[in-house]
Chain A
Amino acid sequence: MKRKFNYTGRKKIPLENIKIILQRKNDLVESFSAEINVKDLELPEDAIVFIETYFRTELLAFNFGTVKKIEAPDKTDLSHMGFSEHMRFRVIITDSKGLILAMADKVKPVNEKNSNCILPIKSTDLGNQIWELDFSDEMDGPVLMLNKKINGIQNFAISNNQFVISVFPAILREIFMKIVFIDNIDDPEEPQTEWHKKWIDFSKNTLKIESQLELNRDDNDFESEKVTDWIDNVVEKFTDSITSKNWRSFIKEMTGEDST
Chain B
Amino acid sequence: MIPVRVFTEYGIEKFSQYINSLDNPTELVLPDLNQEPYSVFFRPRDDIEIDENKKFTNRLDMGKYITKVFNGAGIERSEIIDNSGLWSWFAYMWFKQLCKKDKGVYQIYEIPRYICSSSWGRYYRHFIALPYFLVSLHGEEFTRIFLNMLPYEHTDLTEQLVSSQNIISSPTIVKVIHILYWDNRLSKAKKGASLKNKTDPGTARRFRIFYNQLRLTYDLNRMKENDILELLPHEFDKFKNIK
Cβ contacts under 8 Å, A138 to chain B: 164-166, 212
Do B165 and A100 have beta carbons less than 8 Å apart? no
- A149 an interface residue at 8 Å Cβ cutoff? yes
Question: Residues of A contacting B34 with CB < 8 Å?
Answer: none
**Once the chains bind, are B169 and A82 in contact (CB under 8 Å)?**
no
A170–B207 alpha-carbon span in the complex (Å): 33
Interface size on B, residues (CB 8 A): 38
Q: Is A136 in contact with B121, judged by CB distance below 8 angstroms?
A: yes
Please pick, from B16, B169, B217, the residue contacting A56 in the complex, using a CB distance under 8 A: B169
Residue of A nearest to B12 (CB): A125
| Pair count A-B, CB < 8 A | 93
Majority secondary structure of chain A interface residues (helix, strand, loop or mixed): loop
B160 at the interface (CB under 8 A from A): no
The answer to whether B77 and A98 have CB atoms under 8 Å apart is: no
Q: Whole-angstrom distance between the alpha carbons of A81 and B82 in the complex?
A: 11
- The answer to whether A98 touches B218 (Cβ under 8 A) is yes
A152 close to B (CB within 8 Å): no
Q: How far is the CA of A192 from the CA of B212 in the complex (A)?
A: 11
Size of the A side of the interface (Cβ < 8 Å), in residues, is 36
Q: Mark A81-116, 1 if CB is under 8 A from B, else 0.
A: 111100000001010001110000000000000000
Q: Does B52 contact A (CB under 8 A)?
A: no
Task: Determine whether A80 belongs to the interface, using a CB cutoff of 8 Å to chain B.
Answer: yes
Residues of chain B lying within 8 A (CB to CB) of residue A81: 78
Q: A54-B169, A82-B82, A136-B120 are in contact. Are A61 and B221 (CB under 8 A)?
A: yes
What 6 pairs between A and B have smallest CB-CB spacing?
A: A136-B121, A82-B81, A59-B169, A82-B78, A136-B120, A94-B219
Instruction: Report B's interface with A, CB cutoff 8 A.
Output: 12-13, 16, 20, 76-78, 81-82, 84, 111, 115, 117-123, 133, 137, 163-166, 168-170, 212, 216-223, 227
Residues of A in contact with B (beta carbons under 8 Å apart): 8, 10, 50, 52, 54, 56-59, 61, 79-84, 92, 94, 98-100, 122, 124-125, 127-128, 134-139, 143, 145, 149, 192
**25 A-B pairs whose Cβ atoms sit less than 8 Å apart in the complex:** A50-B222, A54-B169, A56-B169, A57-B137, A57-B165, A59-B169, A61-B221, A80-B78, A82-B77, A83-B82, A94-B222, A98-B219, A98-B223, A100-B217, A124-B117, A124-B119, A127-B20, A127-B111, A136-B120, A137-B165, A138-B164, A138-B166, A143-B119, A145-B119, A149-B13
